[in-house]
């Protein structure tokens, strides 16, 4: 017979400690293996070296300048995308005929990876902030636009019918029924758009050479400062996590009333 | 054959502990059709899961052929109430029924015959290559039964299997399970909240109390076989039994029970309730 | 307006608007003297000359091969690791922080790392594509496995289904819809990373071609390359949807009957 008898087991590591344990193991590996020479320490410097480099960098102003440059592009790109995607998404989503008219266009333009436009951006905007913002805005626009579109279209028809039977005008229905129910989609869309904007900014910095973390990482690599390169890569990871957490937190606050936040499915 | 011995099951710990089963003891004889009835929420499903080895008991034990059950026994099959969630949607009827048989390492020909015979017993022969979502609720439950039958278990546990189908289908399925039980000679433990169904189907009935669950009483059902939806239910014995079960369920736990001679059918002895 | 009129109008719009847009673009750009926006006719001509089929062998094929290899690795690794991790709640918890961290690193930031460690050849590109594309698939597989209906799980336990069958014939199909969702995300990521990696460090490929054209001021060529990337993206997506439809036919059927 199969099954687990309720007999005494070997003492187990408690569940809560597992994540910490695995992280500790990985860190230990990447500290020791380069030092003993199993891994080439020119490619994988010991973790402690990277961390000390990071600690040093944090005290210099070019470090924060680079972060600031990246964030500047991120913010502008996201703002432009939101400023265009939310109104357009609402309008097109609310009028089925408009949607049908634009559907083919959307389906064709959407899959174009914004990175394909990098050369175009260089051509028109040069290698500065404008290129970066153009690419970031283009990419995040589509992510957000699609989400807003779905959100507006996914409104429960029973709700809108109820509103209509109470004599609400079209605009009132939009404001009081459609938008509130589309808000979770918009929130998700903003979170995704933010991540995409960050990625495109760093991409632009890397390939075009605009000021920011991406460029700094590339310079560190080509200059042979491997610890710095890793320290900066780590920074971008942390930056991404931080931005994501802000959006998740904001979502929770704003949408506390919504079933998806209350833990229902 | 199967013994439930002072079974107890508590969920959770401390303040939020829920005692689903208090103290259950009863036996299941080989070849019999045993129904377990009780009020809603009395832990019937928990009982079945403990019997099937899916849940470890908090106290007491379940024994099959005098061996304690600590995991799903090989000779036991289980039919769930939610048929649509117990069939594998990506498999056809044939594949669903054949799937548990891989364990038995049968030669291909015999596997095929078993599957076809089982599906034939539940009258779904034309649907072997359909998918569960193409079938109605009643048909899906029949597939689940066919799957259990093809497995050829010694003992079949059924957890309110007909609760989610309409009344007509339920009547058909009740007759089906009786016929199939005759044909395959399998022992059945059938959990239900439907009193009529329990009397109609069983050889013996175990009545449970509300939570924390204990055995309220065990009845013999002396109705003649084979059962018939119309004739059996017209018999006065049927009415008496169902009234008895009904009162038994409704009776507060611990209240004195009248002495009953089940075969004589005499309840006129004054009974407090 | 009546429902029927609306429907007819909808179809008319859907068909005519794209054509109108193309025509408008053609007309507007025909008289264009701007350097950056050559006439549409020029772009189309260049497209025909370059990609049908002059540079297919030298650029399109290597690009697609790299992308295919990276994507295939990502799918195999993502599904396999996802299934294995999905078997044990504890291993999921242990692996969680590592996965979350690796996944949070913006892909472009990994390029210098990859160039450093692997170099500038094909393997670097395949690595980057695989490394970035694996996460959506892995996470979706984990989600899919975790969401298997408890009744289905009980059924496999009752009937003593073997471990191998449990993984391959229950967990894998059950997670199928989720896995495909992850694969779809990864597909667009693969295209993006292919282009980026070729722009940064390559001597052939579509991404390389587009950037090179810009640098040499071959503007119509640049546009033709952009157009090609868009077309490839569109077709990959369409093919993917077709495959998904076929493989997940059972899922649509069961969802439809559950709702209806």
Q: Which domains does chain C have, with CATH numbers?
A: 38-251 (1.10.3720.10)
Residue C238 at interface with chain A, using a CB cutoff of 8 Å: no
Per-residue pLDDT tens over the stretch B12-69: 777 777 888 888 888 998 889 999 998 877 788 888 888 998 988 888 889 988 888 8
Per-residue pLDDT tens over the stretch A193-207: 999 999 999 999 998
Q: Length of chain C in residues, anyone?
A: 260
**Residue of A213, A208, A215 lying closest to A125 (CA atoms):** A208
Residue B266 at interface with chain A, using a CB cutoff of 8 Å: no
Nearest-angstrom CA–CA distance, A139 and A157: 31
Residue contact C152–B100, C-beta within 8 A: no
Pairing type for strands B18-28 and B213-220 reads parallel
Among B70, B100, B153, most A C-beta atoms within 10 A, so best to mutate, is B70
Residue contact C18–A108, C-beta within 8 A: yes
Residue contact C222–A123, C-beta within 8 A: yes
Peptide linkage before A9 cis (omega within 30 of 0): no
Please name the residues between 5 and 34 in chain A that touch chain B, using a CB distance below 8 Å: 5-6
Residue contact C155–B86, C-beta within 8 A: yes
The pLDDT assigned to B108 comes to: 87
Q: What is the mean pLDDT of residues C80-92?
A: 87
Residue contact A112–C106, C-beta within 8 A: no
**Residue of A122, A129, A115 lying closest to A210 (CA atoms):** A129
Chains that touch B (3 or more CB pairs under 8 A): A, C
Peptide linkage before C53 cis (omega within 30 of 0): yes
Residue A244 at interface with chain C, using a CB cutoff of 8 Å: yes
Output the DSSP codes for B11-61. ES-GGG-EEEEEEEEEEE-TT-EEEEE--TTSSHHHHHHHHTTSS--SEEE
Nearest-angstrom CA–CA distance, B141 and B122: 10
Nearest-angstrom CA–CA distance, B118 and C224: 63
Determine the 3-state secondary structure of C178 from DSSP: helix
Residue A237 at interface with chain C, using a CB cutoff of 8 Å: yes
Nearest-angstrom CA–CA distance, A176 and A55: 50
Pairing type for strands B213-220 and B155-159 reads unpaired
CB pairs under 8 A between A and C: 154
Chains that touch A (3 or more CB pairs under 8 A): B, C
Residue C162 at interface with chain B, using a CB cutoff of 8 Å: yes
C147: closest CA of chain B, how far (Å): 13
Residue contact B71–A4, C-beta within 8 A: yes
Q: Do the Cβ atoms of B188 and B149 come closer than 8 Å?
A: no
**Residue of C213, C235, C216, C236 lying closest to C224 (CA atoms):** C213
Strand partners, B2: B28, B64
Q: Which residues of chain A have pLDDT under 50?
A: 1-8, 263-265
CATH class of B1-53+182-256: alpha beta
Question: Taking each helix axis from N to C terminus, what angle separates B167-184 and B137-150, rounded to the nearest 10 degrees?
Answer: 10
Residue contact C159–B82, C-beta within 8 A: no
> Which residues in A lie closer than 8 A to residue C236 (C-beta atoms)?
111
Residue contact C117–A43, C-beta within 8 A: yes
Among C88, C108, C225, most A C-beta atoms within 10 A, so best to mutate, is C108
A146: closest CA of chain B, how far (Å): 31
The pLDDT assigned to A145 comes to: 92
Closest residue in A to B67 (Cα–Cα): A1
Nearest-angstrom CA–CA distance, B54 and C164: 20
Nearest-angstrom CA–CA distance, C201 and B26: 76
| Alpha-carbon A21 to chain mean position | 28
Residue with tokens 């503007």: C219
Q: Which residues of chain B have pLDDT under 50?
A: 255-257, 259-273
Peptide linkage before B212 cis (omega within 30 of 0): yes
Structure tokens at B184: 């395959």
Q: Do the Cβ atoms of B42 and B16 come closer than 8 Å?
A: no
Residue contact C254–B131, C-beta within 8 A: yes
Residue contact B67–A1, C-beta within 8 A: yes
**Residue of C92, C78, C53, C99 lying closest to C189 (CA atoms):** C78
Determine the 3-state secondary structure of B64 from DSSP: strand
Residues 6+ apart with CB under 8 A from B270: B258
Residue contact A237–C109, C-beta within 8 A: yes
Residue B134 at interface with chain C, using a CB cutoff of 8 Å: yes
Residue C19 at interface with chain A, using a CB cutoff of 8 Å: no
The pLDDT assigned to C44 comes to: 84
The pLDDT assigned to A157 comes to: 79
Nearest-angstrom CA–CA distance, A80 and A201: 14
In whole angstroms, how far apart are CA A230 and each of A115, A233, A238, B147, B250?
24, 5, 12, 57, 72
> Which residues in A lie closer than 8 A to residue C108 (C-beta atoms)?
199, 202-203, 206-207, 214
Closest residue in B to C250 (Cα–Cα): B90
Most confident of A68-72, A182-186, C93-97, C223-227: A68-72
H helices within B155-234, ranges in order? 167-184, 195-201, 231-234
Nearest to A116 among C113, C195, C200 (CB): C195
| Alpha-carbon C236 to chain mean position | 7
Among C25, C43, C112, most A C-beta atoms within 10 A, so best to mutate, is C112
The pLDDT assigned to C243 comes to: 94
Residue contact C94–A97, C-beta within 8 A: no
Q: What share of chain A is helix, strand, coil (3-state, %, to 5)?
A: 75, 0, 25
Nearest-angstrom CA–CA distance, C130 and A222: 24
Please name the residues between 171 and 210 in chain B that touch chain A, using a CB distance below 8 Å: none
Closest residue in A to C192 (Cα–Cα): A113
Nearest to A101 among C17, C191, C195 (CB): C17
Among C8, C106, C229, most A C-beta atoms within 10 A, so best to mutate, is C106
Residue B53 at interface with chain A, using a CB cutoff of 8 Å: yes
Residue contact C151–B72, C-beta within 8 A: no
Residue A1 at interface with chain B, using a CB cutoff of 8 Å: yes
Using only C-alpha atoms, chain C has a radius of gyration, in whole angstroms, of 23
DSSP code of residue B173: H
A181: closest CA of chain B, how far (Å): 31
Determine the 3-state secondary structure of B78 from DSSP: strand
Sheet with B67-68, strands from edge to edge, namely B67-68, B59-64, B2-11, B18-28, B213-220, B204-208, B33-37, B187-192, B155-159, B76-79
Question: What is the CB neighbour count within 10 angstroms for residue B271?
Answer: 14
Among B48, B133, B150, most C C-beta atoms within 10 A, so best to mutate, is B133
**Residue of A213, A188, A211, A184 lying closest to A198 (CA atoms):** A213
Residue contact C196–A120, C-beta within 8 A: no
**Residue of A77, A35, A31 lying closest to A210 (CA atoms):** A77
**Residue of A90, A96, A199 lying closest to A140 (CA atoms):** A199
Residue contact C250–B131, C-beta within 8 A: yes
Structure tokens at A24: 């500790």
Give ∠ CA B187-B193-B196 in degrees, rounded to 5: 80
Domain residue ranges in chain A:
60-254
Per-residue pLDDT tens over the stretch C150-164: 889 899 999 988 888
Residue with tokens 């068909």: C15
Residue with tokens 């904007």: A197
Nearest-angstrom CA–CA distance, A21 and A6: 27
The band of C33, judged by pLDDT with boundaries at 50, 70 and 90, is: low
Instruction: Assess whether pLDDT exceeds 90 at residue C149.
Output: no
Residue contact A4–B67, C-beta within 8 A: no
> Which residues in A lie closer than 8 A to residue B69 (C-beta atoms)?
1, 3
The band of C104, judged by pLDDT with boundaries at 50, 70 and 90, is: confident
> Which residues in B lie closer than 8 A to residue A1 (C-beta atoms)?
53, 67, 69-74
Strand partners, B189: B34, B157
CB pairs under 8 A between A and B: 21
Q: What share of chain C is helix, strand, coil (3-state, %, to 5)?
A: 85, 0, 15
CATH number, domain A60-254: 1.10.3720.10
Alpha-carbon torsion, ordered C55, C58, C61, C67, to 10 deg:
-110
């Amino acid at each position: 017979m199969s099954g687990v008898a309720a007999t005494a087991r070997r003492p187990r590591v408690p569940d809560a400690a597992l994540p910490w344990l695995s992280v500790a193991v990985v860190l230990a590996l990447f500290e020791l293996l380069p030092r003993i020479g199993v891994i080439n320490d020119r490619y994988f410097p010991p973790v402690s070296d990277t961390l000390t480099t990071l600690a040093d960098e944090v005290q210099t102003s070019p470090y924060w300048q680079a972060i600031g440059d990246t964030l500047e592009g991120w913010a502008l790109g996201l703002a432009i995308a939101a400023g265009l995607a939310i109104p357009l998404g609402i309008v097109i989503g609310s009028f089925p005929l408009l949607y049908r008219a634009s559907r083919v266009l959307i389906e064709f333009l959407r899959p174009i990876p914004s990175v394909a436009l990098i050369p175009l951006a260089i051509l028109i905007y040069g290698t500065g902030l404008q290129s970066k913002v153009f690419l970031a805005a283009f990419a995040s626009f589509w992510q957000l636009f699609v989400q807003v579109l779905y959100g507006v279209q996914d409104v429960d028809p029973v709700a809108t019918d109820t509103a209509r039977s109470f004599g609400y005008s079209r605009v009132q229905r939009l404001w009081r029924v459609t938008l509130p129910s589309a808000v979770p989609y918009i929130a998700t869309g903003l979170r995704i758009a933010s991540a995409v904007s960050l990625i495109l900014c760093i991409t632009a910095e890397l390939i075009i050479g605009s000021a920011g973390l991406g460029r700094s990482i590339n310079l560190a690599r080509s200059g042979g400062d491997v610890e710095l390169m890793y320290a900066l890569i780590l920074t971008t990871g942390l930056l991404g996590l931080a931005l994501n957490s802000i959006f998740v937190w904001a979502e929770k606050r704003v949408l506390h009333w919504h079933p998806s936040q209350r833990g229902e499915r | 054959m199967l013994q439930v011995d002072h079974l107890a099951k508590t969920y959770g710990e401390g303040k939020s502990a829920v005692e689903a089963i208090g103290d259950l003891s009863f036996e299941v004889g080989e070849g019999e059709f045993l129904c377990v009835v009780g009020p809603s929420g009395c832990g019937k499903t928990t009982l079945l899961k403990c019997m099937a080895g899916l849940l470890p008991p908090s106290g007491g034990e379940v024994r099959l052929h005098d061996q304690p059950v600590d995991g799903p026994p090989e000779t036991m099959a289980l039919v769930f109430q939610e048929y649509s969630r117990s069939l594998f949607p990506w498999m056809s009827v044939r594949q669903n029924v054949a799937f548990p048989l891989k364990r038995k390492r049968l030669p291909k020909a015999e596997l095929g015959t078993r599957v076809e015979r089982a599906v034939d017993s539940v009258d779904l022969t034309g649907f072997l290559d359909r998918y569960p979502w193409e079938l109605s609720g009643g048909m899906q439950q029949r597939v689940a039964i066919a799957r259990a039958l093809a497995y050829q278990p010694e003992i079949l546990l059924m957890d309110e299997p007909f609760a989610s189908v309409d009344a007509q289908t339920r009547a058909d399925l009740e007759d089906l399970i009786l016929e199939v039980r005759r044909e395959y000679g399998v022992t059945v433990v059938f959990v239900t909240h439907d009193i009529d169904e329990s009397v109609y189907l069983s050889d013996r009935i175990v009545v449970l109390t509300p939570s924390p669950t204990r055995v309220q009483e065990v009845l013999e059902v002396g109705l003649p076989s084979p059962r018939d939806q119309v004739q059996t239910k017209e018999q006065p014995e049927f009415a008496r039994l169902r009234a008895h079960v009904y009162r038994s369920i409704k009776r507060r736990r611990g209240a004195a029970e009248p002495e009953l001679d089940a075969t004589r059918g005499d309840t006129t002895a004054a009974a407090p309730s | 307006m009546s429902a029927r009129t609306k429907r007819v109008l909808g179809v008319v719009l859907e068909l005519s608007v794209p054509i109108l847009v193309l025509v408008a673009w053609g007309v507007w750009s025909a008289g264009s003297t701007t350097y950056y926006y050559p006439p549409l006719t020029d772009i189309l001509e260049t497209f025909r000359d370059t990609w049908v089929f002059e540079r297919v062998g030298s650029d399109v094929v290597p690009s697609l091969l790299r992308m295919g290899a990276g994507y295939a690795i990502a799918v195999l690794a993502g599904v396999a690791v996802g299934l294995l991790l999905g078997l044990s709640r504890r291993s999921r918890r242990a692996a969680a922080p590592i996965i979350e961290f690796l996944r949070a690193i913006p892909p472009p930031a990994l390029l210098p790392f990859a160039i450093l460690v692997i170099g500038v050849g094909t393997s670097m590109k395949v690595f980057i594509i695989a490394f970035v594309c694996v996460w959506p698939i892995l996470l979706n597989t984990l989600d899919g496995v975790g969401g298997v209906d408890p009744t289905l799980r009980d059924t496999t336990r009752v009937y003593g289904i073997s471990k191998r069958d449990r993984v391959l014939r229950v967990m894998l199909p059950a997670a199928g819809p989720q896995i495909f969702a992850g694969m779809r995300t990864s597909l667009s990521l693969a295209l993006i990373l292919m282009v980026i990696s070729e722009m940064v460090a390559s001597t052939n490929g579509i991404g390389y071609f587009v950037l090179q054209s810009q640098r040499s001021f071959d503007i119509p060529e640049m546009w033709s390359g952009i157009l090609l990337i868009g077309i490839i993206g569109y077709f990959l997506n369409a093919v993917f949807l077709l495959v998904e439809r076929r493989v997940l036919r059972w899922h649509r059927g069961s969802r439809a009957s559950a709702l209806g």
